[in-house]
Chain A
Amino acid sequence: MLTQLDSLKTAALAALDAAQDESALEAVRVNFLGKKGSVTALSQGMKDVPVDQKKEVGAKLNDVRTAITEGIDTKKLALQAAQDAKAVEGIDITLPGRLGAGVGALHPLTQIRDLAIRTLRRMGFALAEGPEIETEWHCFDALNTPADHPARNEKDTFYLPDGRLLRTHTSSVQIRTMEAAKALPIRIIAPGSAYRRDEIDATHLSVFNQLEGLYVNQDVSLGDLKGTLEYFFREIFGAGTAVRFRPHFFPFTEPSFEIDVKLEAKGKEARWIEIAGCGMVDPAVFAEINKARGDTLFDPDTTTGFAFGLGLDRLAMIMHGITDIRHLIENDVRFLQQFAA
């Protein structure tokens, strides 16, 4: 019996070795350990074993059963492992990924506008808006622009038959905001479209995008203007960016400045690039607003403020090195794709 057990064990282990899949393994289990299996059959012969050998044969039987069971478990794990290894067989992980709906992009103008807005919001500016079809009063008169100012003619400005016009700058939102204000301070930014009768070419659009800013309070100073805009442009162009203010002229601010930032174009020496206009709100603007409101919320003796405006199209061009402004309105996917975030 002991000899039989040994040879059974050898046969079982050989069969296990030969088993190549789960079902072959199961067949081995049934053949040896199953109800009608050969080990089971032998164990039924235990009752005929003489008493003095029972202990030894019993131990052997257990040993054989354990060896086969463990062999099956080990083989099962080995087969599973081999199968798992096959799960990634033949996969070329260097192939391009599947993109689902594909990659889209925000327009570069949207991206630069959002950057500017996020920056200015951190500085406590809220958004404001106004109509693009404006009255002459909001676009010019209230902004201290004389009735016979060169911009106020049909050569430079789009008019509607009813006498209204397409705003030539977002500065009209300054007026809209001050007209409706309930109290000071006013601290707003207004992104929006503006219109000028310019032929479209590499550097001009008849419809373009601006960002206007206005801060009005008691005792706002040129120092506030300078600090705010220096901070803003350094946030946009980098902490070390040089910013300078050149005296200029705008009808609705005094003093007025143009702002240049010093930027390096690829492979060229850094140069000053004109980027924005700004100034202290002209008292004549406050006076005109008071007249329209019928009160003195904007008391010209104590109220001061600063305003600024910048061209977003131009900012996008400078930021990204775009050479022709028309790219911004043509929406060629080969262009837009470059700005995928």
Chain B
Amino acid sequence: MQVSLSWLSTHLDLSSYTIPQLSDLLTFAGVEVEGIEERGVATDKVVVAQIQSFEQHPNADKLSVCQVDDGSGTPRQIVCGAKNFKAGDKVPLALPGAVLPGGFTIKEGKLRGVDSLGMMCSGKELGIGEDTGGLLIMAADSPIGTPFNQLNPADVLFDLEITPNRPDLLSHLGLARELAALTGLPLKGERHHANSSTKAKAAAEEQIVIKAAEACPIYTARIIKGVKVGPSPEWLRRRLESIGLRPINSIVDITNYVMMEMGQSLHCFDMDKLNGGIVVRMAGEGEKFLALDGQTYELKTDDLVIADSQRTVAIAGVMGGEETGVTESTVNVLLESAYFAPSGIRRTSRRLGLSSDSSYRFERGIDPQQVQGGSELATKLILSIAGGTAEDVVQVAGAVPALVGEVTLDENRARKLLGTPDMTGDEIHAILEKLGLTKKSASKHESHWGIPSYRLDLQRQVDLMEEIARVIGLDRVPSRQVAVASPVDAADRTYDFAMGLRQTLASRGFFEAQTLRLIADAQLADSLGGGQGVAVKNPLSEDHTTLRPSIVPGLIATAALNIRQGLHRLRFFELGRVFLTLPKGGSREEERLAVLISGPVSPTSWHGREPQAADIHELVGQIQNLTRTPLEVRPAKENSANYLLTSELRAGNRILGWIAQMHPARAREIDARHPVYVAELLLSALRQGSTGPTKFEELPRFPGMTRDVAMEVPADLPHAKVAAFFAAQKHPLFVGAEVFDVFADPSGTKIAKDRKSIAWTLTYRSAEKTLETAEVDAAHTAILTALEKTLPATVRR
């Protein structure tokens, strides 16, 4: 909300505060100051001057040479570039020595060879209003020679963020009231809401009928006849313009002024366009309504409207109708002042996407006590500005709702909650009293408080404690620290495990990515693991429609971005949540780790040539190094369109995740220079392999012996089959076997095309003694015999 310091100063004298002090005062009252703008000129050297004559500049097409009267008696010559004036116009003239906003100092000088003794100014140059493309033309009755700042006082505009619990601060009077409470400065001028002296008369049925008392407990109408609608006087226009409102006509400006002055939102109807009395009712289903903004809105039965006997004339509290609005030709007006319940206004405003200064205030809650005061202030202003005669009574339907009551404060609880054991009862009472609360009674540690009608937020004792905290500030509260022993739980273990994985991967040359969890439909085909994501009902754009069922799509987008930057050695991982739609409805969230590699196994170095590009085994190895149990790679029966070699990664019965090579066609789409490999792992399954402390195993006391075996097998015999054979061997001396060579020759010269040669090292050991060669040979022969029997292998002997 824009707040004008000069407007605020009509309610209390803030001259003893500097701008930064005021800003702090507001800040620590809980009102965030989002901007401060100083407007207008402080200097007296900008004066009203009248242009007496002007002629074309002899040397410049776009300049004029003007003779002006600055009130000194001597005509002054000014060279000017603006075009929007005529002889006789009055304009602001900056005299030599004047310092304009922005620190620009005016000097005497020559412009294209012609003397210019000052500068005529636009509104923007004086820090008031927008650039209108020319000089600020002042009112014809502005006295020549008068300092400009006497007519347009300098002002300071605060841009304030009022929190939703404090609608009472959404006006100049409301803010002044708060500042008065906090500073102890007296409020001056009228406190409109309290002192309506206009007689109220219960409205007759044919004048006002409220058919929705809950949504509108009180509605008042004041009839003013014979007004003459025209432009508002300068002071009113200036007030509104200063806080960013556009003046429209005197009547509309007055209602806006009253709203910004005291927070009561009003509406004026052109009475002659109303048919019969006012009906406050819910709208008909599908009813169409042409509002003042020129738009037609379709209403529903839970929208509150103001109607006459025939049709809707306003969306209550939100916007009036085009057909019954006040125009220059309006003669008789009906001035509405009412209280509309917040929830209904909020619902309607939100559903229609139609928000106004009025709806903003009603949906946060206005002071129902000020309904008649607002009407009275507006009436007074209308009569003085637009003339006419007001009915001597205000017609009132319904009654002022009681929205606040009494609150009991347990002062010991307040001290405990605030952590201020030394705060006295007197201090507490003084704080609440200066905020406008009334002490109804008090015993030793308890007091009862009457709440002012504008403080709708004070309903419970904790609300009063908040007020005390706000006034004393946290500087007054001593800092205290306690540490409590917290047992480690699953979330802690998961975090530590995940952090360990992250650090391991980062130290192995991987970059950690963080990609958005909302991805595009088009990215879903990059998913690994086969689950279905969770679609959002109201996505913001087609790039972010679905909660990801897999992290890999994000890593591929990351790869694509870096490839565009010319990077072709890619090492990325991301650890985070995925979202899976369950077949029977609902969803599941799980933590996963995804890894992507592409390009050389190590960075290019001055030493030797480009290292070879990573293959799928590199990625399998990286994953093997993360798991503590042997990894089993089980090729999937089908690949999704974007992948080749899709396989399940398992450890025993556990599925750890999936691995695949990006299909070359997909890799070409992202301009990948090298094959791209991806894997996605389930964090919980990875963790299962690492629970509990490791159990120590005795070191072997006797040396082992090794024997190598080379064999020829069919080219398509998977390694896993051979490994499974060795894993199944139970010979007491056999410890284990490891593959150390795989050789195939696609040309078929060194070994037949459909065959490959593989070589393994077998280890033998006894726990009791050092083995004899003969014993090892016997065991080895037994195993090789079994090998040839079990597998289609020919051992080379």
On A, residues with C-beta under 8 Å from B are: 95-96, 98-107, 109-110, 114, 117, 123-129, 131-133, 146-148, 150, 153-155, 158-162, 166, 185, 187-188, 190, 193, 195, 197-199, 205-207, 215, 217, 219, 221-224, 226-228, 230-231, 244-249, 254-258, 280, 282-283, 304, 328-334, 336-337, 340-341
Contacts and interface: CB of A to CB of B under 8 A. Distances in A.
Contacts of B465: 254-255
A224 B562 contact: no
Contacts of B502: 106, 110
Interface string B495-515: 100010011011111111111
A133 B589 contact: yes
Nearest to B474: A245
B606 interface: yes
B170 interface: no
A158 B509 contact: no
Interface in B559-600: 561-562, 565, 567, 569, 571-572, 576-577, 579, 585-587, 589
Contact of B495 (A99, A117, A205): A117
A197 B487 CA distance: 37
Contacts of A282: 462
B506 A128 contact: no
A283 B460 contact: yes
Given A221-B417, A254-B462, A331-B558, A104 B489 contact: no
Contact of A105 (B480, B486, B489, B512): B512
Given A100-B602, A133-B589, A158-B539, A331 B572 contact: yes
B404 interface: no
B728 interface: no
A331 B509 contact: no
Contacts of A109: 514
Interface in B411-465: 416-420, 460, 462-463, 465
B585 A222 contact: no
A223 B478 contact: yes
12 contacts: A98-B607, A100-B509, A125-B486, A127-B494, A128-B491, A162-B586, A227-B481, A246-B27, A282-B462, A283-B462, A331-B511, A340-B506
Contacts of A187: 484, 486
A73 to B, nearest CB: 37
A99 B512 contact: no
A223 B589 contact: no
Contacts of A158: 518, 536-540
A221 B418 contact: yes
Contact of B561 (A221, A245, A330): A330
A254 B481 contact: no
Nearest to B27: A246
A101 B481 contact: no
Given A158-B538, A166-B547, A328-B514, A127 B495 contact: yes
A254 B486 contact: no
Contacts of A226: 419, 474, 477, 479-480
A224 B491 contact: no
Nearest to A274: B32
Interface stretch (B160-168, B383-391, B713-721): B160-168
B603 interface: yes
A92 to B, nearest CB: 10
Nearest to A123: B483
Contacts of B491: 126-129, 190
B492 interface: yes
B605 A99 contact: yes
Interface stretch (B310-318, B342-350, B685-693): B342-350
Interface in B711-741: none
B57 interface: no
B489 A107 contact: no
Contacts of A246: 27-28, 30, 32
Contacts of A133: 534, 547, 579, 587, 589
A106 B480 contact: no
Nearest to A133: B587
Nearest to A193: B517
B516 interface: yes
B418 A126 contact: no
A207 B518 contact: yes
B417 A222 contact: yes
B347 A223 contact: no
Contacts of A197: 538, 540
A89 B660 CA distance: 47
Given A150-B346, A166-B536, 10 more contacts: A99-B605, A102-B569, A104-B509, A124-B483, A132-B547, A133-B534, A221-B418, A221-B480, A280-B462, A337-B511
B579 A247 contact: no
B544 interface: yes
Interface in B510-543: 510-518, 534-540
Contact of B514 (A188, A245, A329, A340): A329
B536 A227 contact: no
A155 B540 CA distance: 9
B605 A223 contact: no
Contacts of B164: 150, 249
Given A162-B585, A222-B417, A255-B466, A110 B512 contact: yes
Contacts of A104: 505-512, 571
A269 B576 CA distance: 38
Contacts of B402: none
Contact of B538 (A131, A150, A159, A280): A159
Nearest to B589: A131
A270 B287 CA distance: 57
B417 A126 contact: no
Given A224-B482, A255-B470, A102 B492 contact: no
List the 8 closest A-B pairs by CB distance, nearest first. A223-B419, A221-B419, A247-B30, A249-B163, A227-B479, A101-B509, A126-B486, A102-B509
A95 B606 contact: yes
A114 B605 contact: no
A103 B511 CA distance: 8
A99 B489 CA distance: 38
B469 A126 contact: no
B511 A333 contact: yes
A222 B419 contact: yes
Nearest to B496: A127
Given A96-B606, A148-B343, A185-B484, A193 B509 contact: no
Given A159-B536, A331-B558, A332-B561, A132 B480 contact: no
B139 interface: no
Given A223-B480, A249-B163, A334 B565 contact: yes
B485 interface: yes
Nearest to B486: A126
Nearest to B162: A249
Contacts of A105: 506, 511-512
Contacts of A103: 509
A88 B577 CA distance: 52
B514 A331 contact: yes
A191 B132 CA distance: 51
Nearest to B579: A133
A224 B481 CA distance: 5
Contacts of A199: 540
Contacts of B606: 95-96
A99 B603 contact: yes
Nearest to A99: B603
Contacts of B466: 247, 254-256
A245 B492 CA distance: 30
Contacts of A336: 511-513
